[in-house]
């Protein structure tokens, strides 16, 4: 493609030497003009994607009167942090964030640690039935959360766990493990087995090889899968809604939902502020880790 | 070698915690739930064996059938939209923007990581009417139309739910399909171009057939995710107006936990599971037939 183009270009340049200077310029201009619709489409796409976010963040700085009197696309008149103060103090957003973190971090930690260990046991260790065990665990991916809600609710109720955050941590761990185990096993499979065999020749036991070779080699995979699990746990509503009744234990998603019931149509400011906090926090995380997040989510869905 | 990596103690230490959690918190509850679907009642009231009564009730329960329709309609429309938009974006990334697509790819992907609840509340205010009218109605007014109260009608709510789902997930499907398109060898495209295939004909006869496997995985993944739609329709309009946009998941949640009908709730959960399975198998089989042709 490029070679033919340059051949044609040099050919025409040789025939009409006087236009040598103007031709490439015109061609470039024409090519740019032809790209114009593409750039318009891309611009429109970015507006569609980013404008709602921008509108929400700008809205979080507006006072109630600005909401009523100015049109929806007006910029806020000043950077008013009043809404954030209201959301954090009256709307329990700070408490909700604490609960979300208390649930999400232990769940993701457990999922990753247990998942990488199980992946090692199923892929590097050699035993009869490991293939069937992997399939057995894999079957769990197909089951929707609704299938296990009622029995789990009964179990947690009988165990007296309903006033704690434990039901959430346990359920998220159980729901995240099948996919994580499967992905970890797949990552272990892609590693050269010779590394582990060499370690065994050097006298390292299998458990020692796991901690000294397996875990360090899997750091990348653990981070990627950890991010998938972080988002699916942090953004969950169903499990949190089912197992927490006490507002003191509400996670951020429940908090947003009740905030919208409480202020709903009357007071947009605090609600916008609470949502904006979410957007900005995740935007910062995303800005640093977007490559890992995108690769991880794509891998997680295709293999699942 | 096999002796070192066949050590039973190590296998137990590493695998047992995962297996224990999986069996006790997933396998046992699934079996339990299967059993419950043949009972009526809840833990406080006690259970009574009713055989297949829950299933016959389901078939004559208008609210249940309505919620099945909502789920299926949402899943089909959202899947068509997500995969089509995602595929168009992926084509844009690979063949038009090429190396310069990283920023667009990342920006369009970003809404995917936002919580569905936050996105639903954002879109609800985006289409709001009244004193705090959102931009959508401002635009309709500017074009000379009357404000539309989207949340007051079934179609308005459904349309908004679909729009927000597409908005937040199209970038994800684009990246998914983009990785698939990148796997098509350059030589194949180059030789097709030399044979005179360009533009649409290239897409139709070369690119779509070659990316069919990943297209299929995306469709199956999307159907499975959207059949379980819950957060978006709940947070957007609480399944309303009335219960006209309540999907099967929300109906199950309300039956089991608001009306404390554990038995019937489990039956609904089973129907949902079967629905996902049927859709997956249908797509799978129809594609295999096409490949065989």
Question: In this predicted model, what pLDDT tens digit does every residue of B258-281 receive, in sequence order?
Answer: 999 999 999 999 999 999 999 988
More confident residue, A97 or A64: A97
Distance CA B183, CA B174 (A): 14
Contact B175, B111 (CB under 8 A): no
CA–CA min distance A256, chain B (Å): 7
Within a domain: B25: no
DSSP count for chain B of H helices, then E strands: 15, 2
The mean pLDDT value for B19-44 works out to 92
Total number of domains constituting chain B: 1
Query: Is a pLDDT exceeding 50 seen at residue A8?
Result: no
Burial B174-198 (b: 16+ CB within 10 A, else e): bbbbbbbbeeeeeeebeebeeeebe
Please report how many Cα atoms fall inside a 13 Å half-sphere around the Cα of residue B123, on the Cβ side.
30
Q: What is the DSSP letter of B147?
A: P
- pLDDT tens digits, one per residue of A145-191: 899 999 999 999 999 998 899 999 999 999 999 999 999 999 999 88
The mean pLDDT value for A110-127 works out to 94
DSSP count for chain A of H helices, then E strands: 15, 0
Chain A 96-155, residues with CB within 8 Å of chain B CB atoms: 114-115, 117-118, 120-122, 124-127, 133, 137, 140, 142-155
Closest CA to A72 of B185, B130, B180: B130
Within a domain: B38: no
More confident residue, A66 or A243: A243
Distance CA A203, CA A194 (A): 14
Query: Is a pLDDT exceeding 70 seen at residue B292?
Result: no
Query: By mean pLDDT, which of A237-251, B19-33, B36-50, B279-293 is the weakest?
Result: B279-293
Within a domain: B1: no
Q: What is the pLDDT of residue B145?
A: 84
Contact A254, A240 (CB under 8 A): yes
Q: What is the pLDDT of residue A19?
A: 47
CA–CA min distance A167, chain B (Å): 10
Q: Which fold has domain A92-303?
A: MetI-like fold (1.10.3720)
Q: What is the pLDDT of residue A238?
A: 93
3 state DSSP class of B211: coil
CB contact under 8 A, B116 and A237: yes
Cα of first residue to Cα of last residue in chain B, in angstroms, is 48
Distance CA A18, CA A13 (A): 8
Q: What is the DSSP letter of A115?
A: H
The domain of B193 spans 60-292
The mean pLDDT value for A44-63 works out to 89
Within a domain: B10: no
For residue B95, the chain A residue with the least C-alpha distance is: A38
Instruction: Give the distance between the most distant pair of CA atoms in chain B.
Output: 80
Within a domain: B185: yes
What ranges do the domains of chain A cover? 19-82, 92-303
Distance of CA A131 to the CA centre of its chain: 30
pLDDT confidence bin for B71, thresholds 50/70/90 = very high
For residue A237, the chain B residue with the least C-alpha distance is: B231
Ranges of beta strands (E only) in A80-179 are none
- Pick the most confident of A27-41, A52-66, A157-171: A157-171
More confident residue, B170 or A74: B170
CB < 8 Å to A120, chain B: 14
The percent of residues in chain A predicted with pLDDT above 90, rounded, is: 37
The CATH number of residue B226's host domain is 1.10.3720.10
Q: Break chain A down into helix, strand, coil percent, rounded to 5.
A: 80, 0, 20
What angle do helix axes A268-303 and A22-59 make, rounded to 10 degrees?
A: 120
Query: Is a pLDDT exceeding 60 seen at residue B1?
Result: no
pLDDT confidence bin for B97, thresholds 50/70/90 = confident
């Amino acid at each position: 493609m490029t070679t033919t183009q340059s051949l044609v270009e040099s050919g025409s340049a040789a025939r009409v030497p006087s236009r040598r200077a103007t031709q490439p310029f015109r061609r470039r201009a024409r090519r740019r003009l032809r790209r114009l619709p593409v750039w318009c489409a891309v611009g429109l796409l970015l507006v569609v994607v980013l404008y709602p976010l921008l509108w929400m963040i700008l809205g979080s700085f507006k006072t109630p009167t600005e909401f009523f009197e100015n049109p929806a696309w007006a910029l806020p008149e000043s950077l008013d942090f009043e809404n954030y103060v209201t959301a954090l103090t009256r709307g329990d957003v700070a408490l909700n964030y604490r609960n979300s973190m208390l649930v999400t971090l232990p769940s993701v930690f457990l999922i990753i640690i247990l998942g990488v260990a199980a992946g090692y046991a199923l892929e590097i260790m050699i035993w009869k039935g490991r293939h069937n065990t992997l399939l057995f665990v894999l079957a769990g991916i197909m089951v929707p959360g609704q299938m296990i809600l009622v029995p789990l609710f009964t179990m947690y109720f009988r165990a007296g766990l309903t006033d704690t955050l434990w039901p959430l941590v346990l359920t998220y761990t159980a729901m995240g493990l099948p996919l994580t185990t499967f992905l970890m096993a797949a990552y272990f499979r892609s590693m050269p087995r010779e590394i582990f065999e060499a370690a065994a020749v050097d006298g390292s036991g299998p458990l020692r090889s796991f901690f000294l070779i397996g875990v360090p080699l899997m750091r990348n995979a653990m981070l990627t899968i950890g991010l998938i699990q972080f988002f699916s746990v942090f953004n969950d509503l169903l499990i949190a809604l089912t197992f927490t009744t006490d507002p003191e234990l509400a996670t951020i998603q429940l908090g947003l939902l009740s905030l919208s019931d409480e202020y709903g149509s009357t007071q947009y400011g605090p609600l916008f502020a609470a949502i904006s906090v979410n957007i900005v926090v995740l935007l910062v995380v995303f800005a640093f880790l977007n490559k890992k997040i995108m690769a991880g989510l794509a891998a997680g869905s295709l293999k699942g | 070698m096999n002796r070192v990596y066949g050590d039973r103690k190590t296998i137990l230490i590493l695998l047992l915690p995962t297996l224990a959690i999986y069996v006790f918190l997933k396998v046992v509850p699934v079996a339990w739930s299967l059993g419950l679907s043949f009972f009526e009642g809840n833990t406080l009231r006690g259970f009574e064996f009713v055989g297949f009564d829950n299933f016959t009730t389901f078939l004559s329960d208008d609210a249940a059938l309505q919620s099945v329709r909502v789920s299926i309609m949402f899943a089909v429309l959202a899947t068509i939209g997500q995969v089509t938009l995602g595929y168009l974006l992926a084509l844009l990334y690979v063949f038009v923007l090429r190396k310069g697509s990283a920023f667009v790819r990342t920006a369009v992907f970003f809404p995917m990581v936002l919580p569905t609840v936050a996105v639903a509340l954002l879109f609800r205010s985006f289409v709001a009417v009244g004193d705090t009218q959102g931009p959508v109605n401002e635009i309709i007014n500017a074009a000379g139309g009357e404000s539309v109260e989207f949340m007051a009608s079934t179609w308005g709510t459904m349309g908004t739910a679909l729009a927000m789902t597409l908005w937040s997930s199209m970038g994800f499907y684009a990246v998914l399909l983009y990785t698939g398109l990148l796997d098509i060898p350059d030589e194949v495209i180059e030789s097709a171009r030399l044979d005179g295939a360009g533009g649409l004909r290239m897409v139709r006869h070369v690119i779509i057939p070659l990316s069919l496997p990943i297209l299929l995985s995306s469709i199956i993944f999307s159907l499975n995710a959207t059949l379980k739609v819950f957060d978006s329709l709940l947070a957007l309009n609480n399944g309303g107006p009335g219960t006209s946009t309540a999907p099967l998941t929300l109906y199950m949640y309300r039956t089991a936990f608001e009306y404390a009908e554990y038995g019937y709730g489990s039956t609904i959960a089973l129907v949902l599971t079967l629905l996902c399975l049927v859709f997956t198998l249908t797509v799978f089989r129809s594609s295999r037939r096409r490949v065989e042709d």
